[in-house]
Amino acid sequence: MATVTNWIDHLNKPAEEVVGAVYPGAGSTEGLLVILAIVLWVGWHVLTGRSESQELDRLSKKRHSANDYKSNITDW
């Protein structure tokens, strides 16, 4: 994966070869990384959206009054 294995050798190259990407997997993994990011991003929305709906359903069923939360205020 390493794009550069020796900085002295790398910087001794002609200028047009020195400039360029130096991250691991440069030139071969970008597409895969973007797909991975999209999957994680969509997955996050699905998981948190489901979790929020469950929380709101639970809360709705209990039918608390507007001031019930005051009995839950902590003293610490």
Partner 1 sequence: MTDQLAALTTIFTEFYYWVTVVLMFLIHVGFCMYEVGASRYKHHQHTLMKNTMLIPLVTVTWFLFGWWIYWAFPTGPGLAPSIMNESSALITDDSAFSATWYTATSDLMAVNLGDHISGVFWAAFLLFSWTAASIVSGAIIERITTFAFGILAIAIGSVFWVIDAAWGWHFDGWMLKLLGYHDAYASGVIHAIAGGFALGVLMVLGPRIGKFSSSGEPRNIGPRNPWLVTIGLFLIYTGFWGFYAACNIPIFDLGPEYGMEGISYWTATNIYVTPTTLSGITFNFLMSLSGGLLAGYWIAKGDPFWTYSSGLAGIICASAGNDLYHPIQAMIIGMIGVVISYKLHYWVERKFKIDDAVGAVAVHGYAGFIGLVICGFVLNGYPSSGYSVGAMWDGTTYATINPLGQFIGALIMFVVLGLIPGYIIAKVLHGMGKLRIPREAEIAGLDYEIMEAAKDDEKAVASATR
Which residues of the shown chain bind partner 1 in the complex (CB under 8 A)?
15, 18-23, 26-27, 30-31, 34, 37-38, 41, 45, 48-49, 52-53, 55-66, 68-69, 71-76
Residue 45 parent element (H or E):
helix 30-62
CB of 60 to partner 1, least distance (A): 4
Q: Which residue has the tokens 């360029």?
A: 20
Contact 4, 25 (CB under 8 A): no
CB of 28 to partner 1, least distance (A): 11
CB of 12 to partner 1, least distance (A): 14
Question: Burial letters for 40-66: b for 16+ Cβ neighbours within 10 Å, e otherwise?
Answer: eeeeeeeeeeeeeeeeeeeeeeeeeee
Nearer to partner 1, 1 or 19 (CB): 19
Nearer to partner 1, 5 or 65 (CB): 65
